[in-house]
């Protein structure tokens, strides 16, 4: 028990000692000072040196920086022990209160053992804030009667900086009426008052615009500005004034009530209520004149109020006063002389007795629209009237006088609603007074639509290009027709006019939306099978009877590079290698073989070029990229291998390009057969029977007709006598090898079985096929050529001739 108590006491003593040691370490404070707004990565201090730490221990002891009550603006470089700026520090955002000192407190914490160092970083102020007015524009209202020396308080500017960087003074833009007085508060802040230094006159200068500038004491100094707008308030120091003291005006008798005689306009240089005028008659204006003429107190407008009769009075005097609404009102006066003019004061009248407000556009010429009567209460010339149509030349109507004072309005020309759908017919009646009086009457006539217009397409022929391999249901185009009629006469329905192409209805290939004319393809088109389509689309309206029109549509299928070139020469079985044999003594430029490829596409998609994809010796052969001819570029040497392998690619010019390849194995031999003497032997057509059979089996296995042809040829072979025997040893080879002679009569090398077959057909059409028949050594073949009969068969030699087929 005593041992346990002693152990606990020892642990307690160690814990207290450790706490006291750590607390002592934490009490030491290291202080630094830096200006605000330092760039990221800037050096502050070397903590390892200042705290007496080994730089290498910073990483081992996991040194970290703990910023108290703030963002982590700093960081420790654990490799160098430097304290660096991690993020720009804005003193004004850290220390919100305007104090001279601003500290950023942080702890540097080390582990193993734990040590804590207190760091205080003083942020020094720089002049990075300009003075700012709380109100950018200050408005002051000052009466023009204000005496000089009056003071007006202004909104002060504020500066977030402190000390010498805070506001130092104010400046006011130049003015002969105002200046400023700057005062300093107990806390050192600057205040400014605006002082009136001159006499104001609103009529001379109503608004004063000043600029107040606050400047701080930083280096360089910063400034801020505010606008001061001073409105000078008016006092009633100007009387109203008319433009002239006497006005004269003429007014016709019987002028309608409310007719404006004239408008008086007095002016007052003051503003506000001091410039608001009230017009009124003075006591010098007679009661009769006031009964006939009204005066608007606000606008000064004089209007006719009663019935004016020239025979009763020829003139009137109106005495008018204009008074402002100031506290001490001022007034001005004028006189208006009104002279009455005698006129023809009764207007003629137009009365519509009968009227049709709507007509169909197909009514006949001469149809009655309205019956009109005219009258005038005056007598003599003033009571005689004339009725006319305004702009009658441009209207399809006329007036016909039926009796005294009565007229008929008739249709004079055919109507067309699509040109004009509504007419405003103006009837004008005029008397013969001096001056004449006239009156207008307007008749509104609506033209009703009939179905007299067929739909029209914007163009008579549409050419639409469609790329082959299109998706079924693809939108090709939108055909729209226009019908100027209205309502159901305008509603159009589109459909394809039926037409069959190769027992296929056009509606099976294309579809059109009957409502909007959208044309769709119902199938996928193949350019190699279908090049274009020509058909008609009809648009029919819904009128009674319906009208229609059609348009021709030409669909052109555009080619797409969807076919791979097909190599037809040299012919070879699927995936097999073409083998060629040439003598090693071949000269430079010798034609070895010719590659021929065809492409089912058109234009650029069918333009085939040839390239060497692989070659055993690139210096030995060349390939013409356009005609596919393979020629030797030099003579063979003893170092050249006896077998050469060429992989040729035939590529079209489409986008993307498609290609096919053929592999040609070229074998070289030392000698060829020389023709010292040749003979021309008649050859029956059955010489080529086996070749025909070979080609037919390869190219037309699926054709029953060709099989019948082969059977017929076999029968013919059995019936015909054998030609002169040509002893040809059997060829013991696994693949068909076309052995060519380098010396053919026309210097053209034949490099494919397809070409031999074509040559056989050509010679057959000429009526005779001849064979050059040298004496052939073992393993040699023979070839076909057109040679004169004078050449006799030659003796056997060691050279090898071109081979068409081998004996079985």
Chain segment 381-415, per-residue pLDDT in tens: 777 889 999 888 889 999 998 888 899 999 999 99
Q: What pLDDT, on the 0 to 100 scale, is given for residue 250? A: 93
pLDDT digits (tens, 9 = 90+) for 567-600: 888 877 666 788 888 888 888 889 988 999 988 8
Q: Is residue 790 part of a domain?
A: no
CA gap 258, 235 in Å, rounded? 37
- Extract the tokens encoding 723: 């030609």
Burial code (b: 16+ CB inside 10 Å, e: under 16) for 782-792 equals bbbbebeeebe
* pLDDT range class, residue 807, cuts 50, 70, 90: very low
User: How would you class 63 by CB atoms within 10 Å of its CB: exposed for 0-12, middle for 13-18, buried for 19 or more?
Assistant: buried
CA gap 445, 358 in Å, rounded? 6
Task: For residues 642 and 602, state if they share a domain.
Answer: yes
Task: For residues 264 and 316, state if they share a domain.
Answer: yes
Domain boundary among the residues 516, 536, 558 is at: 558
Q: Which residue has the higher pLDDT, 267 or 697?
A: 267
Structural domain count of the chain:
6
Task: For residues 549 and 583, state if they share a domain.
Answer: no
The overall longest dimension of the chain from CA atoms, in Å, is: 159
Say which range, 366-380, 599-613, 791-805, has the weakest mean pLDDT.
791-805
pLDDT digits (tens, 9 = 90+) for 500-545: 776 778 888 899 999 999 999 999 998 888 889 999 999 999 988 8
User: How would you class 421 by CB atoms within 10 Å of its CB: exposed for 0-12, middle for 13-18, buried for 19 or more?
Assistant: middle
pLDDT digits (tens, 9 = 90+) for 472-503: 989 999 999 999 988 888 899 999 988 777 67
Task: For residues 279 and 366, state if they share a domain.
Answer: no
Q: What pLDDT, on the 0 to 100 scale, is given for residue 69? A: 67
Per the DSSP assignment, residues forming a β-bridge with 535 are 553
For residue 539, the enclosing domain spans 456-558
Q: Is residue 487 part of a domain?
A: yes
SS (H, E, C) 81-113: CEEEECCCCCHHHHCCCCCCCCEEEEEEEECCC
DSSP H or E stretch at residue 699? helix 689-699
- Tell me whether strands 315-324 and 397-403 are parallel, antiparallel or unpaired: unpaired
Domain boundary among the residues 620, 644, 669 is at: 669
pLDDT digits (tens, 9 = 90+) for 643-653: 888 898 999 88
Task: For residues 461 and 444, state if they share a domain.
Answer: no
Pure H helices in 190-339:
287-292
- Extract the tokens encoding 774: 């040298």
Task: For residues 183 and 219, state if they share a domain.
Answer: yes
In contact, 459 and 477? CB cutoff 8 Å: no
Q: Mean pLDDT of all residues in the chain?
A: 79
Task: For residues 546 and 461, state if they share a domain.
Answer: yes
Question: 523 phi and psi, to 5 degrees?
Answer: -140, 170
CA gap 507, 538 in Å, rounded? 13
433 CA to centre of own chain: 69
Using alpha carbons, list the distances in angstroms from residue 615 to 149, 583, 635, 640, 666: 109, 19, 16, 13, 11
In contact, 456 and 448? CB cutoff 8 Å: no
Task: For residues 245 and 229, state if they share a domain.
Answer: no
Q: What pLDDT, on the 0 to 100 scale, is given for residue 156? A: 87
Q: Is residue 681 part of a domain?
A: no
Q: Which residue has the higher pLDDT, 678 or 444?
A: 444
Q: Is residue 677 part of a domain?
A: no
pLDDT digits (tens, 9 = 90+) for 702-724: 667 777 888 888 888 786 554 44
Domain boundary among the residues 126, 151, 181 is at: 126
In contact, 494 and 537? CB cutoff 8 Å: yes
CA gap 55, 580 in Å, rounded? 81
Region 671-689: mean pLDDT is 42
pLDDT digits (tens, 9 = 90+) for 722-732: 444 434 333 33
Task: For residues 372 and 424, state if they share a domain.
Answer: yes
User: How would you class 721 by CB atoms within 10 Å of its CB: exposed for 0-12, middle for 13-18, buried for 19 or more?
Assistant: exposed
Q: Is residue 761 part of a domain?
A: no
Q: Is residue 726 part of a domain?
A: no
Q: Is residue 760 part of a domain?
A: no
Task: For residues 108 and 164, state if they share a domain.
Answer: no
Q: What pLDDT, on the 0 to 100 scale, is given for residue 756? A: 36
Q: Is residue 538 part of a domain?
A: yes
Q: Which residue has the higher pLDDT, 503 or 153?
A: 153
Q: Which residue has the higher pLDDT, 673 or 780?
A: 673
Region 48-71: mean pLDDT is 81
Task: For residues 137 and 90, state if they share a domain.
Answer: no
Which CATH number does the domain housing residue 268 bear?
Answer: 2.60.40.60
* pLDDT range class, residue 763, cuts 50, 70, 90: very low
Burial code (b: 16+ CB inside 10 Å, e: under 16) for 464-491 equals eebebebeeeeebbebebebebbeebbe
Q: Which residue has the higher pLDDT, 793 or 568?
A: 568
Q: Which residue has the higher pLDDT, 184 or 278?
A: 278
In contact, 408 and 371? CB cutoff 8 Å: yes
Residue 676's closest CA among 772, 799, 801, 793?
793
Task: For residues 253 and 324, state if they share a domain.
Answer: yes
Question: 389 phi and psi, to 5 degrees?
Answer: -100, 130
Q: What pLDDT, on the 0 to 100 scale, is given for residue 519? A: 93
């Amino acid at each position: 028990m005593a041992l346990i108590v002693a152990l606990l006491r020892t642990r307690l003593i160690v814990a207290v000692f450790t706490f006291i040691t750590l607390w002592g370490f934490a009490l030491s404070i290291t202080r630094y000072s830096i200006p605000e707004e330092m760039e990221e990565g800037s050096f502050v201090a070397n903590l390892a040196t200042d705290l007496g730490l080994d730089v290498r221990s910073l990483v081992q002891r996991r040194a970290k920086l703990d910023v108290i009550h703030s963002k982590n603006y700093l960081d420790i470089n654990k490799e160098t022990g430097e304290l660096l700026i991690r993020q720009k520090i804005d003193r004004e955002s850290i220390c919100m209160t305007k104090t001279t000192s601003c500290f950023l407190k942080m702890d540097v914490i080390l582990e193993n053992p734990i040590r804590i160092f207190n760091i205080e970083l003083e942020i020094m102020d720089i002049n990075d804030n300009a003075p700012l007015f709380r109100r950018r524009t200050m408005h002051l209202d000052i009466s023009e009667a204000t005496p000089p020396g009056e003071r007006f308080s202004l909104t002060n500017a504020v500066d977030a900086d402190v000390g010498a960087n805070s506001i130092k003074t104010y400046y006011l833009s130049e003015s002969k009426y105002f200046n400023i007085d700057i005062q300093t508060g107990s806390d050192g802040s600057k205040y400014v008052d605006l002082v009136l230094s001159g006499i104001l006159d609103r009529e001379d200068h109503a608004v004063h615009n000043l600029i107040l500038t606050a400047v701080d004491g930083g280096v360089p100094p910063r400034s801020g500005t505010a606008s001061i707008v001073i409105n000078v308030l008016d006092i009633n120091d100007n009387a109203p004034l008319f433009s002239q003291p006497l006005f004269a005006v003429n007014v016709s008798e019987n002028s309608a009530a409310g007719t404006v005689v004239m408008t008086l306009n007095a002016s007052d240089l003051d503003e506000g209520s001091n410039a608001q005028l009230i017009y009124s008659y003075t006591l010098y204006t007679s009661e009769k004149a006031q009964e006939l003429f009204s005066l608007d107190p606000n606008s000064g407008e004089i209007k006719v109020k009663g019935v004016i009769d020239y025979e009763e009075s020829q003139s009137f005097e109106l005495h008018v006063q204009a008074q402002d609404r100031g506290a001490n009102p001022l007034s001005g006066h004028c006189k208006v002389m009104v002279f009455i003019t005698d006129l023809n004061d009764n207007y003629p009248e137009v009365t519509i007795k009968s009227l049709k407000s709507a007509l169909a556009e197909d009514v006949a010429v001469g149809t009655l629209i309205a019956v009109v009567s005219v009258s005038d209460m005056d007598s003599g010339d003033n009571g005689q009237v004339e009725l006319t149509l305004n702009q009658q030349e441009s209207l399809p109507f006329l007036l016909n006088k039926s009796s005294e004072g009565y007229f008929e309005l008739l249709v004079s020309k055919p109507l067309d609603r699509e040109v004009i759908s509504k007419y405003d017919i103006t009837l004008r009646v005029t008397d013969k007074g001096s001056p004449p009086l006239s009156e207008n009457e307007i008749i509104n006539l609506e033209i009703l639509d009939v179905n007299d217009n067929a739909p029209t397409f914007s163009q008579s022929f549409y050419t639409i290009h469609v790329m082959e391999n299109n998706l079924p249901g693809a939108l090709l185009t939108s055909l729209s027709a226009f019908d100027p009629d209205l309502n159901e006469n305008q509603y159009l329905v589109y459909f394809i006019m039926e037409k069959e192409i190769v027992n296929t209805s056009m509606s099976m290939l294309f579809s059109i939306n009957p409502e909007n004319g959208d044309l769709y393809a119902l199938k996928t088109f193949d350019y190699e099978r279908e090049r274009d389509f020509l058909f008609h689309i009809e648009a029919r309206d819904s009128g009674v009877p319906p009208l229609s029109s059609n348009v021709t549509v030409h669909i052109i299928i555009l080619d797409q590079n969807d076919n791979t070139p097909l190599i037809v020469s040299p012919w070879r079985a699927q995936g097999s290698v073409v083998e060629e044999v040439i003598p090693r003594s071949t000269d430079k430029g010798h034609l070895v073989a010719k590659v021929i490829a065809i492409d089912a596409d058109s234009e650029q998609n069918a333009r085939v070029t040839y390239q060497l994809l692989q070659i055993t010796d690139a210096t030995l052969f060349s390939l013409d990229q356009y005609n596919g001819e393979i020629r030797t570029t030099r003579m063979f040497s003893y170092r050249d291998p006896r077998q050469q392998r060429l992989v040729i690619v035939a590529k079209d010019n489409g986008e993307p390009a498609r290609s096919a390849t053929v592999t040609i194995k070229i074998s070289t031999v030392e000698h060829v057969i020389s023709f010292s003497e040749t003979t021309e032997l008649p050859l029956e057509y059955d010489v080529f029977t086996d070749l025909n059979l070979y080609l037919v089996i390869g190219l037309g296995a699926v054709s029953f007709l060709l099989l019948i042809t082969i059977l017929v040829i076999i029968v013919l072979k059995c019936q015909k006598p054998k030609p002169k025997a040509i002893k040809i040893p059997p060829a013991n080879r696994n693949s068909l090898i076309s052995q060519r002679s380098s010396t053919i009569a026309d210097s053209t090398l034949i490099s494919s079985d397809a070409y031999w077959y074509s040559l056989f057909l050509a010679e057959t059409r000429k009526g005779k096929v001849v064979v050059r028949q040298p004496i052939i050594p073992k393993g040699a073949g023979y070839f076909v050529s057109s040679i004169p009969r004078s050449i006799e068969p030659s003796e056997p030699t060691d050279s090898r001739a071109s081979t068409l087929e081998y004996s079985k």
